[in-house]
Chain A
Amino acid sequence: MIGLIRKDLYMAWAYCKTFLLILAVFIAVGLTGEENSFFILYPMIIGMMLPVSLISYDERFKWHLACDAMPVSRAKVVSSKYILTLLTVLLVFALTMLAQWFRLSRLGAVEQLRALPGILLPMGLVGPAILMPVIFRLGVEKGRIFYFVLVGVVCAAAVMFGSGQNPVNPTAEIALPGWALVLVSLGIFLLSWPLSITLYKKREL
């Protein structure tokens, strides 16, 4: 498992520098700029795409075949990606929270920060939780199509049902409190994990 995560970190550094740069820029803009939910939420969207991009590189280099020929179980292959997702989401979450704390404390509105975990963490966890079982079963190409359809559906839903109110505090519109949303999304993520393992074990590479 350590070897797999180490390999992913090498690859993230080599191939995803642009991701990391965009991440840094957006967090910085979110820190200094006007109140704009796009700059606050977008780093998490980038963050959750990172592990999926690494799976795509693995397929391109046939690393998944190499893993099958080494003492690496398919459960470990899947788990390494879930752990990486969790680490990425937590890192982006921590950086975004820190940046927003600076911004909101200058404005004297730190209490708004309390709503942010209920938005950021479900965003970072639910997307990969839905996407990864599909990718591990069907491969990255088909999984990507599924991802674009999903994003389209979510955007359409946001346009159709969105209130247009302050996006940094949308929990006022949602029946569940922020902490409950975090728990629900974490639950979905934790259910997705063994599902991906089961599906990947069934896949003929």
Chain B
Amino acid sequence: MNAIELRDLEKHYRDFDLRISLTLPQGCILGLVGENGAGKSTTIRMLLGMTRPDGGSLQVLGQPQADKEQIGVVLDEPAFPECLTAKQVGKVMAGIFRSWDKAAYEGYLKKLGLPESKSFKEFSRGMKMKLSIAVALSHHPRLLVLDEPTSGLDPVVRDEVVELFADFARQEDHSVLISSHIVSDLEKLCDYVAFLHKGRLLLCEERDAFEALDPAAVVGSRRSPYGVSAILRRSEAPAGMQLEPVSIEDLFILMVKEDAQ
């Protein structure tokens, strides 16, 4: 079973159009990368039912609507009332999640060095993000959806956090979708990487897929900090690889940029 399936999911804004098809097999970690404004957060919001898609279809854990009891979410901005302490946050969540595990939550607070009685407004950015992660993990989700969870964190905290996600993903029915523009974090963590650019998915493959390709299949390629965009000969591409038709404009830009490199 796939943890996530997005088929031609669309969202149109006045100055931005997003269209994305994407699959996350169960038990895997998919990194969604792209520049700011590429559509990563909009994709995640549609996935969670926070934003209504204008077209296409989706399935999350086999359901057409995300069952949020089974999903742990970390948003790019931790959103708890500033007056609440970590202990109070736990009590609030116990009234929200049916499967809330108080002992697991207290364990995460201890592991992450978060004080129970300090209010949220006194937390640093790193501590706020850690609290969000503790909440996301403490109701035994099957899928983690993480929107820029490492953004703004110092390298030590980032490493701790990435380790937590890796721990979570060790159980074979656990899946993770993580959006980030910090490629090094994704390199440590992901089985698959999807590169989103201006609302279009340019690449969605296993992390090392490009290196494994037969050079004869590659017409042209362009490396960026987020990965590789490549034009392939369909007949030479490995069976089952997700490919999208290339427009003349894409072809032209890629050739020009490749020459420039």
Q: Which chain A residues have a beta carbon within 8 Å of chain B's beta carbons?
A: 1-7, 10-11, 14-15, 57-58, 61-63, 65-66, 68-72, 204-205
The answer to whether A66 and B69 touch across the interface, beta carbons within 8 angstroms, is: no
Chain A, interface SS category? helix
A3-B96, A205-B50 known; A66 vs B84 contact (CB < 8 Å) = no
From B74-82, B224-232, B248-256, the one touching the partner chain is: B74-82
What per-residue 1/0 map shows which CB atoms of B52-78 lie under 8 Å from chain A? Answer: 100000000000000111000101010
Q: Which residues of B contact A204 (CB under 8 A)?
A: 51-52
The answer to whether B77 and A7 touch across the interface, beta carbons within 8 angstroms, is: no
The answer to whether B81 and A2 touch across the interface, beta carbons within 8 angstroms, is: no
The answer to whether B96 and A72 touch across the interface, beta carbons within 8 angstroms, is: yes
B92 at the interface (CB under 8 A from A): yes
Chain B, interface SS category? loop
A69-B48, A69-B73 known; A57 vs B92 contact (CB < 8 Å) = no
List 6 A-B pairs, minimum CB-CB distance, nearest first. Answer: A3-B95, A14-B83, A2-B95, A3-B96, A66-B79, A62-B79
Q: Which residue in A63, A68, A69 is a CB contact (below 8 Å) of B80?
A: A63
A62-B77, A204-B52 known; A10 vs B92 contact (CB < 8 Å) = yes
* Cα–Cα, bound, A40→B50 (Å): 44
Q: Which chain B residues have a beta carbon within 8 Å of chain A's beta carbons?
A: 48-52, 67-69, 73, 75, 77, 79-84, 88, 91-98
Q: Which residue in B67, B75, B88, B94 is a CB contact (below 8 Å) of A65?
A: B75
The answer to whether B75 and A3 touch across the interface, beta carbons within 8 angstroms, is: no
Q: Which residue in A11, A15, A65, A70 is a CB contact (below 8 Å) of B96?
A: A70
| Residue from the set A15, A58, A61, A72 with the largest chain B CB neighbour count within 10 Å | A61
The answer to whether B93 and A3 touch across the interface, beta carbons within 8 angstroms, is: yes
Q: Which residues of B contact A14 (CB under 8 A)?
A: 81, 83
The answer to whether B80 and A61 touch across the interface, beta carbons within 8 angstroms, is: yes
Q: How far is the CB of B118 from chain A (nearest CB, A)?
A: 14
The answer to whether B84 and A7 touch across the interface, beta carbons within 8 angstroms, is: yes
Q: How far is the CB of A18 from chain B (nearest CB, A)?
A: 14
The answer to whether B81 and A7 touch across the interface, beta carbons within 8 angstroms, is: yes
A11-B81, A61-B81 known; A68 vs B50 contact (CB < 8 Å) = yes
Q: Which residues of A contact B73 (CB under 8 A)?
A: 69-70
Q: Which residues of A contact B98 (CB under 8 A)?
A: 71
Sample of 14 A–B contacts (CB below 8 Å): A3-B91, A3-B92, A3-B93, A6-B92, A10-B84, A62-B77, A63-B80, A66-B75, A66-B80, A69-B48, A69-B50, A71-B69, A71-B96, A204-B52
Q: Which residues of B contact A15 (CB under 8 A)?
A: 83
Q: How far is the CB of B51 from chain A (nearest CB, A)?
A: 7
Closest to B132 in A: A66
Q: Which residues of B contact A7 (CB under 8 A)?
A: 81, 84, 92
Closest to B83 in A: A14
The answer to whether A1 and B95 touch across the interface, beta carbons within 8 angstroms, is: yes
Q: Which residues of A contact B94 (CB under 8 A)?
A: 3
Closest to B84 in A: A10
A3-B94, A6-B95, A7-B92 known; A69 vs B84 contact (CB < 8 Å) = no
